[in-house]
Structure 1
Amino acid sequence: MDIDVWIKGLGSKFTYVAEEQGKIIGFGELEANGHIGRFYCHKDFQRKGIGKKILEQLESKAKALGIEKLFTEASSTAKPFFGSQNFIVVKQQEVERRGQKLINFIIEKKFNNY
């Protein structure tokens, strides 16, 4: 992984970070097209509302920008969380990362911007 490329990529996105006592416990990023590029919650803070609060910030920013749909590629473990937040599965896909084949799900959530 090229850390410089990764850091530069963060600069072109809207990134929200949750921290506790100076420790990052979660983050999420929104791209201008509605794609959630990275979304993470530390294992010790899962099921405590951290992910939901981060997602609420992403949704609020998306609505303010006039984005009509959020979408991402969710892992099997992240899929239930997003499902609980009214995302729907568009399709299942197989991807290759560092020589490993993984299953993930393209999911989306549409807004009514009226």
Structure 2
Amino acid sequence: MAYIIRPFADRDAPALSDLTLSAIRSVGSKSYTPKQVTAWSDRHPGARRFLDRAAAGHHIIVAADSGDNAVAYSLLESDGHLDMLYCHPDHTRRGLADELLAASEQHARANAMSQLYTEASELARPAFERAGYIVQHRRDFDIPHAGGAVAIHNYAMEKPLN
């Protein structure tokens, strides 16, 4: 299947919301417990958040299938924080994460950012490492959920652009 990498359009917001939840629930379950996956997915703010982030100037790059349906995306903030990188489970292992990270880096360089940084999940970590990000440390933290807290982890990673 051929994919295109393109800028976010408002019409992508529902698809990005849906694919994020699908990725967390399906792919996330390969490295996180059911309780962790539920707490993580319950934090997802929905489609409106993508519209708000785009309006705030955050750079969202979309990978779309041959029908121009969004199947993966990255979200880069103006300070170099790559906040999101998600791919629909039906489209994983096809190089989309690598393409989105490269497009995000290209945008960062064009906008004179000196480094990129992220908090990568267990599953996203290899894609970030392939793109040259370096693990700074493992982040263990709690997600408030259902009146309690669920312990989870990810990795603080950085990539200098000098």
The one-letter amino acid of 1:61's match is: H
Alignment-derived partner of residue 119 in structure 2:
73
C-alpha distance 94-10 of structure 1, shift in aligned 2 (>3 A): farther
- In the alignment, the residues of structure 2 paired with residue 111 and residue 5 of structure 1 have an alpha-carbon distance, to the nearest angstrom, of 28
1:14 to 23, 47, 59: 59
C-alpha distance 26-2 of structure 1, shift in aligned 2 (>3 A): closer
Q: How many residues align?
A: 112
C-alpha deviations, 1:24-44, integer Å up to 9, x for none? 210001111000011111122
C-alpha deviations, 1:43-102, integer Å up to 9, x for none? 222221111111111001100111011000001111111111111001111122233211
CA shift, 1:6, in A, is: 5.1
The one-letter amino acid of 1:8's match is: D
More helix by share: 2
TM-score where L is the length of structure 1: 0.88
- In the alignment, the residues of structure 2 paired with residue 84 and residue 72 of structure 1 have an alpha-carbon distance, to the nearest angstrom, of 14
Q: Which has the larger radius of gyration?
A: 2
The one-letter amino acid of 1:15's match is: I
More strand by share: 1
* Percent of residue pairs identical: 27
Could you list the runs of 5+ residues in structure 2 that have no partner in the other structure?
Answer: 1-43
TM-score where L is the length of structure 2: 0.64
1:25 to 48, 71, 91: 71
- In the alignment, the residues of structure 2 paired with residue 69 and residue 38 of structure 1 have an alpha-carbon distance, to the nearest angstrom, of 16
- In the alignment, the residues of structure 2 paired with residue 53 and residue 82 of structure 1 have an alpha-carbon distance, to the nearest angstrom, of 11
Residue 46 in structure 1 maps to residue 46 in structure 2: no
Residue 87 in structure 1 maps to residue 133 in structure 2: yes
Root-mean-square deviation (Å): 1.6
Greater RCO (CA < 8 Å, at least 6 residues apart): 2
